[in-house]
Structure 1
Amino acid sequence: MRTSPRSPRRLTALAATLTVTALALTACGQGDRGDDGAASAEEEAASGEAVSIRFAWWGSDHYHEMYQEVADAFMAENPDVEIVTDFTDWGGYWDKLATTVAAGDTPDVLMQEQRYLREYAERGVLADLSQTDIATDAMDQGTLETGEVDGELVAIPTGVNVFSVLANTKVFADAGVPLPDDTTWSWEDYAEVATQISASGTGAIGRQDLWNDAAFNIFARQRGEQLFTEDGELGYTDETLVDFWEVALGLQESGGQPPASTTVELETVGPERSLVATNAGGMVPEWTNQLSAVANAAGQDIELLRWPGESQGERTGMYFKPALYASMSAQTEHPEAAARFIDFMLNSETAGDIILADLGLPANLDIRERIVPKLPEVDRQSAEFVADLADEVVDSPPVPPAG
C-alpha cells in the first residue's frame, strides 16, 4: 500500500452530479448496508455467501481466454468472491463503458488505457488505489506513477512496452545493408539506411511509416520537449513538428518509404501484415510486445532497435509505456474483494504464470524475473531489450489530457 499523501480530487459540477446520481442508483439496490452503503469485509465473510464483482476488459479471443483463466484461478483461491466477466472488442468496450458509467453501473474492476485515464479519473469514476491493500512495492515507481492523476493512483500498470524500430534481418542481408549500431545512429543515418534498402534492387522498401504519436513524442523528447505537458498543454514547438514530418517527406522523395497513399493503406492491416512481417520491408516502428507476432509472420529473425537520435539529442526520448492498467470503480459495493482481485492479477505467481508477457512485461519486477525464463525465445528478446534500456530511459510522459 502506498502511503504518499494525496491531494483532494477536483471535480467539476457535472462530475459531482454524475457521482451523486451513480451513488443514489447504487444505493437503491443495496438494502440495509450501513451508513456508507457498502458491506464491510467482515459482513461479507459472516454472511457465508460469495460476493459478486464484475470484471471488464477488451481484446481478442486469446485475451478473453487468458483473463477468464486468471478469474477462475482467483476464485479457486478465494471462494468467497465470484468474478462475473464482461468483455468486448476495443471499440465496443469504450462505448459500453461510457454507457454503464452514465447509468451508475461501472464495473467493479476494469481494464484501462492511458488515453482514457484522465477522463474517467476527473469524473470521479476511478478509486484511489493507494488507499487499498494492493501491493506496489515490487513495481518500478516511475512506471507506477504513470497511473496517477491529480495526485491519486487511479490505475496500476499491468506491464510495460517500448516503442521501438523492428528490423527484418533477411531484408537487410539481401539488400547488402548492414544493421545499424542503434546506440549511435542519427536520424540522418536512419534515412540513409532506409534509402539504401529501397535502392538495392531487391524490391524491398526501406521502412514502413507508421503514424503514431509515440514516434513524434520520442522525437520531441530528444529535444527536451514533449507531446503534452503535466498540465495537459501542448509541449512542443512548431519547428519540432515540421522537422518530424520532414523526415517522412524526405524518405518519400528518396524512395526510402512508400508514398502516403500506401502508408494509409498499411495503417489498417496490423503488425502481422506489415512490410517487415511480409518480408517486403526493412524497418517498421512498433511496440516491443508485437515482436512475436511480426517474427512469426515473417518466419525470419527480427531485431529490436533503439530509435535514431537517442545519443545525439539533449536527452533520450524513448520511454516505458504501460501496456494496460487495472482500475477499480470508486462506487464498487465490494472494494475489499475488488482490490484483492487486482492484487492477485498483478502480484501473484499464479496469475503471472498465466499472463506471462501478454499484458506487457510485468510491472511487478519480481514476477517479471520469474516469468522471463518461461517465455518463448522471441519474447525473451523483448525482455532483454527492455532491460537494456533501464539505464537510458529518463522518465515516462505524463497522462495525456482528456480527449
Structure 2
Amino acid sequence: MVIKGKRWLKTLTIGVLAAVMVTGCAGGSNSGASEGQGNGTLKMMWWGSDARHEATKKAIELYTSKHTDVKLTTEFTSWDGYWQKLPTLAASSSLPDILQMDAAYIQGYAKRGQLADLSDLDLSGIVDEKVLENIKIDGKLYGVPLSYNGAGLVYDKVTLEKYGIKLPFNNWTWDDFFAYAKEARSKLPEDKYPIDDLRNIWEFYQFYQTAKGKGPIFQDGKFNLDKDTFFEFNNIYADFQKEGVVPPADQQLAFKENDPQLDSLGSGKVMLRTASVGSASAIEALKPGQLAVNSNPIGESGGGWAQSTIFFSVSANSKNVEQAKEFIKWFISDPEAGQTLGMTRGIPIDDEVYASLEPNLTDGERFGKELLDVAKPKALPFYPAPAGAEDFTATYKSEMESVMFGQVTLDAAYDVLVEKGKQAESKIK
C-alpha cells in the first residue's frame, strides 16, 4: 500500500431516499447491503461520535429530498463496534454499499478484493490531485478522502516565553528539537519538563526513522527496524531520562491525553507534546489562548505526516456502484452538505467547503487548521501498522516501557522486537 489511521491515532480518524431508515448505535438490519437489487437501494455504514451521527443523518435527509429515486438504509456505531462487525460482514460478502474506511485498515480490504475501484470517479476541483495520488493502493483509488488529518506539535508558548526559552520553529530538524529540550531543561523549574518521553510509542520512533530516510517500520509487507537508527534515538532519550529532560517513567505513563488534570501539557508538567489535527480542538480547550502549533522535527526525507486518513469506500459486491459514487461525490462537495456536516469528520477535503465554514469555526477548530498548515509542507506519507502487526505493536509498547523502568536492556528489547517483527511479516495481509 502506498498511503501517502493509537494514540493519535483514532484517531481519528471513517442517490438516497424519500424515506430514510436509520438504525441506531446498537446496529440494525443488514438487508439492502451489497446484495441489493441494483435498483438504487443502498446501505451506508460509518463509525463516530453522536455529533457525527446526527450531522450525517441530516445530510442524508438533504440528499434524499433531492434524489427520490434511490433508497438508503444506514447503520452507525462506535469505533470499536465498527471494526468488530466489519470483518464479519466482509467474510459473508455482505459489506454495505458505502462504508467508512480508515487508513489503518483500507489496504487489507482492498488487497482482499472487497472494495470497488473508484479510480474513474472525477474529483477534479474537489480533491487535490496530490492527495489522491498519495492514497492510491497499487495505483488504484479504493477510498474517497473525506477530510484532512496530520501530525504536529503543540507547545505552551506563554510558559516558554515566561522562562526566556527560545520557541520552537517550523521545519526544525531533530537536532534543533533536541537542542530545544536541553536549553529548556536548564531554564525550567525542576517539576516542569521540556518534552514527553515517548519511547514506548512505536509511531513516534517511526517519525524519527522515516525522517532519516530509512523508511517505515513495515514497508511493502517487510519488517524494517533500522538497528543503528533505533539505538541512536533511544540512547538520546535514555540520556534525557537521566538528566531530567523528560518526566520519570512512572509519571510519564500516568499521563492521559486531553484530560484536564492528567494531560502532560494541559496539566502544566510538559511544555511541548505531539498532537494530531483531529485532537487539536480538545488540546486547545485545555489552555485557551496559551498554546501554539509547530511542525514535527524533519530530516532529509521530511517529517511527520499530513493527509486524509478517513474515507468512503464502496463494496466490490455492490449492485449500485454508480449510485454510491454519485452520493459520495455529493457528500464531500455539495455546499449545503458541507454546512450540515461541518467539522464532524475533521477539516473537509474540499477547500471550498472548508472556506464556507471558516467564518463560524470555534477557536479549537481553527487551531486544528493551524496545525494542519504547519504539518503539510514537509509531511511524509502516513504509515499505519498493517493488519497482522498487532502483536508487534503491543510488544513494542511493553518492551520499551520495561526499558524506561530499567527492567530490561535496550539490546534485549531490540532482539525481542526483531523476533516479533519477523513473525509479523508472515501475517501481514
Q: Same fold (TM over 0.5)?
A: yes
**Which one-letter code corresponds to 2:285 in the other structure?**
N
8 Å contact kept, 2:168–2:180? no
Give deviations 1:175-230, integer Å, cap 9, x for gaps: 44242233445435435436735862273332234554443333223211221566
Distance 1:77 1:216, change over 3 A: farther
Distance 1:391 1:193, change over 3 A: closer
Are 1:78 and 2:79 an aligned pair? Answer: no
Counterpart position of 2:290: 301
- Offset of residue 342 of structure 1: 1.1
Unaligned runs of 5+ in 2: 1-30, 389-429
- Secondary structure of residue in 2 paired with 1:55: strand
Q: Distance in 1 between matches of 2:94 and 2:62?
A: 25
Paired positions, count: 355
Are 1:233 and 2:222 an aligned pair? Answer: yes
The counterpart of 1:356, out of the listed 342, 345, 353, is 342
- Offset of residue 172 of structure 1: 2.1
Give deviations 1:26-67, integer Å, cap 9, x for gaps: xxx99xxxxx98755xxx3xxxxxx43222122222222222
Counterpart position of 2:372: 386
Are 1:102 and 2:91 an aligned pair? Answer: yes
8 Å contact kept, 1:323–1:359? no
Query: 1:1-400 counterparts in 2 under 5 A?
Result: 44=39, 51-131=40-120, 133=121, 135-184=123-172, 186-187=174-175, 189-190=177-178, 192-193=180-181, 196-197=184-185, 200-201=188-189, 203-210=191-198, 211-228=200-217, 231-266=220-255, 269-270=257-258, 273-308=262-297, 310=298, 313-388=299-374, 390-393=376-379, 395-397=380-382
User: RMSD value over aligned CA atoms?
Assistant: 3.0
Q: Distance in 2 between matches of 1:65 and 1:301?
A: 32
8 Å contact kept, 1:143–1:363? no
Q: Distance in 1 between matches of 2:54 and 2:239?
A: 45
8 Å contact kept, 1:177–1:197? no
Are 1:402 and 2:387 an aligned pair? Answer: yes
- Offset of residue 391 of structure 1: 4.2
8 Å contact kept, 1:174–1:202? no
Q: Distance in 1 between matches of 2:354 and 2:236?
A: 36
Q: Distance in 1 between matches of 2:165 and 2:137?
A: 46
Give deviations 1:363-391, integer Å, cap 9, x for gaps: 22333333334322343343244335554
Give deviations 1:322-380, integer Å, cap 9, x for gaps: 13111111111222222122112212112222333332322223333333343223433
Q: Distance in 1 between matches of 2:237 and 2:68?
A: 56
Q: Distance in 2 between matches of 1:150 and 1:183?
A: 31
Distance 1:146 1:111, change over 3 A: farther
- Secondary structure of residue in 2 paired with 1:292: helix
- Offset of residue 242 of structure 1: 2.0
- Offset of residue 92 of structure 1: 1.5
Give deviations 1:97-125, integer Å, cap 9, x for gaps: 01111122111111111111111111111
Identify which range, 205-214 or 85-94, moves more after superposition. Answer: 205-214
Counterpart position of 2:424: none
Q: Distance in 1 between matches of 2:202 and 2:311?
A: 19
- Offset of residue 293 of structure 1: 0.8
8 Å contact kept, 2:52–2:341? no
- Offset of residue 68 of structure 1: 2.1
Identify which range, 273-282 or 133-142, moves more after superposition. Answer: 133-142
Counterpart position of 2:3: none
**Which one-letter code corresponds to 2:355 in the other structure?**
E
Q: Distance in 1 between matches of 2:327 and 2:47?
A: 18
TM-score (norm: length of structure 1): 0.77
- Offset of residue 287 of structure 1: 0.6
**Which one-letter code corresponds to 2:346 in the other structure?**
G
* Identical positions, percent: 23
Q: Distance in 2 between matches of 1:324 and 1:330?
A: 18
8 Å contact kept, 2:165–2:183? no
Counterpart position of 1:21: none
Identify which range, 191-200 or 120-129, moves more after superposition. Answer: 191-200
Q: Distance in 2 between matches of 1:359 and 1:373?
A: 18
